[in-house]
Chain A
Amino acid sequence: MTDPSSPAPSTAPNESWREWLLTAEPRSRNQARLGRAYVTWRRFSENRLAVTGLLIIVALILVAFFADLLAPHSATVGDLAGARLLPPGSPGFLLGTDDQGRDILSRLLVGSRITLAVVALVAIIAAPVGLLIGTVSGFAGGYVDAVLMRITDIFLAFPKLILALAFVAALGPGIENAVIAIALTSWPPYARLARAETLGVRNSDYIAAVHLMGASPTRIVIRHIMPMCLSSLIVRVTLDMAGIILTAAGLGFLGLGAQPPLPEWGTMIASGRRFILDQWWVATMPGIAILIVSLGFNLLGDGLRDALDPRGAGR
């Protein structure tokens, strides 16, 4: 660190760093920002379950990144002759193999990439769209609000999976289309949420104050209203991640998502269905993977809710 205001690493460098971060009188904007981030992190990290959730997600990201190195076998080409439907624990195949003789562990590891991509893409598309529509609708009111909210209601009126099914059916099966379909169906709840938050704050004096200073409506929405909606939105999105994974898996299961031989977890369950009674592991292993990752996102979301809650904000 070259920051001159940082303390000299004296006898107890950890202590003085903490002091520097937690000081009641930060000397620069960056110090204040770091201090705040630190306090939020401390609050988050006190929650064991939340940290577990975070670890699961970090592990997922690492696994996705290094899948090629970690996977002991090919994820798509199996040994049809010598290794069909081996049970878990067979030498060389820790989690067993499927009907094509492919190593399930390798497929799960490589499949994590698809899961992660689906989740990230949906979050990147759906959350900002929902946030924008919700805040604009709530802030503008009148016609704009009525029109945007009717559209939202139409989307909300259908169960998510059914609507996604309809989109995929129209767009054609495939993982890209599944992602688009899921994104298209997940923004309405975010829009509703953002609008509700916006309605609560738009008539407040602090919004009137920035209006009085001459701020444009765009500036008010982006810089003053959106931050108010952000934390509840982030929490909601992480909590929804589990649902998104399951929807993607659902589409895969119905044969409308990822196409074989792509190792998408949902598709893997679908193909294992046929041997569920005799070779239970083929469908169960990807099921457990989905369960763990969903749980991770859920725990993370819960933890974030507590950590980002302004009322608990450290003094």
Chain B
Amino acid sequence: MTPLLTVGNLSVTYPTRTGIIEAVRGVSFELGRERLGIVGESGSGKSQTGRAIMGLTPPPGIVRADALSFSGVDLLAATPSTWRDMRGSRLAMILQDPKFSLNPVMTIGRQITETLRHHENVSKREARHRALEMLEAVQISDPERVFSLYPHEVSGGMGQRAMIAMMLVCGPELLIADEPTSALDVTVQLEVLGILDRLVRDKGMGLIFISHDLRLVSSFCDRVLVMYAGRIVEELATADLGGATHPYTRGLLDCTPKIGESRHPLPVLERRKEWAA
């Protein structure tokens, strides 16, 4: 079976006045219809990797890769119109910091229905119906109310779920979820993961799950890539997480506070130069 997504030697650079910033440096992986986790510290290039795959690298960023293809389509050669057709319907990305990505002067409901109507030929009523259904599916208890609220009127977690609903409403084949659950409480977090899990299992969606929560990733994903300074430093099956060898991964595992233990202060990571090499 050909993989859903192939990424070969991907790099993302930003030329700036003071030099070139290498946000992503030679990342390669393949994704089937599975759950792939990407973890790593802030600024390690997780989001930039996701954005590059989606063709959303902001200028003046430059994307280079030996291979970048999505179910047979060469993304490097994709035209703007190919992108428009694919993005949102076949390929979707839940962006980090939802309040930033939602339009502040448009209601949540309108944003979801417009996404839907842009890609599918559905009536207004049908779109509204499906949007409400989707909001309900992401565990929003009062979808009718949230439908007509503006982004600043919803809580952090509701905004994040609205964003998820918007991305799932067209039923994509590949979903890149950039910290989709960081603002959700644990029970809702699990419900949302449950939805994503079912989409992978039943609909055969491919999922890239970007997160800094190693605990969550290890319990949810099949494989994990650990990124540091723009590179993949370790690739693990989640079952073997305990056997991680890279000191950064070990440090990450170590510095989260856990219920029922008392470590004051918490251990912090001593970052080493050679990790970035």
Contacts and interface: CB of A to CB of B under 8 A. Distances in A.
A24 B21 CA distance: 15
Nearest to B103: A200
B217 to A, nearest CB: 28
Nearest to A42: B17
B58 A199 contact: no
Contacts of A204: 104, 152
B18 A315 contact: yes
Contacts of A22: 17-18
11 contacts: A22-B17, A22-B18, A24-B18, A42-B17, A200-B105, A203-B150, A204-B104, A204-B152, A311-B58, A314-B16, A314-B17
Nearest to B150: A203
Contact of A203 (B17, B21, B152): B152
A315 B16 contact: yes
Interface string B94-119: 00000000001100000000000000
Interface of B: 16-18, 21, 58, 104-105, 150, 152
A24 B19 CA distance: 12
Interface string A184-200: 00000000000010011
A263 B17 CA distance: 47
A24 B17 CA distance: 12
Nearest to B17: A314
Chain A interface mostly: helix
Nearest to A314: B17
Interface string A7-34: 0000000000000001010000000000
B104 A200 contact: yes
A200 B106 CA distance: 10
B145 to A, nearest CB: 18
Contacts of B16: 314-315
A115 to B, nearest CB: 37
Contact of A199 (B18, B21, B105): B105
Contacts of B58: 311
A196 B105 CA distance: 9
A230 interface: no
Contacts of A315: 16, 18, 21
Contacts of B104: 199-200, 203-204
A22 B16 CA distance: 12
Q: Which 6 A-B pairs have the closest CB atoms?
A: A203-B152, A200-B104, A315-B16, A314-B17, A199-B105, A200-B105
A42 B16 CA distance: 12
Interface in A205-245: none
Nearest to A196: B105
B127 to A, nearest CB: 25
Contacts of A51: none
A311 B16 CA distance: 13
Contacts of A42: 17
B12 to A, nearest CB: 15
A148 interface: no
A39 interface: yes
A39 B152 CA distance: 34
A102 B17 CA distance: 53
Contact of B17 (A39, A199, A200, A311): A39
Contacts of A24: 18
A13 to B, nearest CB: 20
Contacts of B17: 22, 39, 42, 314
A200 B152 CA distance: 10
Nearest to B151: A203
B61 to A, nearest CB: 12
A243 to B, nearest CB: 27
Nearest to B100: A204
A196 B17 CA distance: 33
Interface string A38-51: 01001000000000
A200 B17 CA distance: 31
Nearest to A208: B152
A196 B103 CA distance: 12
Interface in A281-315: 311, 314-315
Nearest to A199: B105
Contacts of A200: 104-105
Contacts of A39: 17
A42 to B, nearest CB: 7
Contacts of A196: 105
A204 B17 CA distance: 31
B167 to A, nearest CB: 23
A314 B16 CA distance: 7
A139 to B, nearest CB: 14
A251 B150 CA distance: 45
Interface in A152-203: 196, 199-200, 203
A196 B106 CA distance: 12
A311 B17 CA distance: 15
A311 B58 CA distance: 10
Contacts of A203: 104, 150, 152
A17 to B, nearest CB: 15
B27 to A, nearest CB: 22
Contacts of A311: 58
Contacts of B21: 315
B250 to A, nearest CB: 32
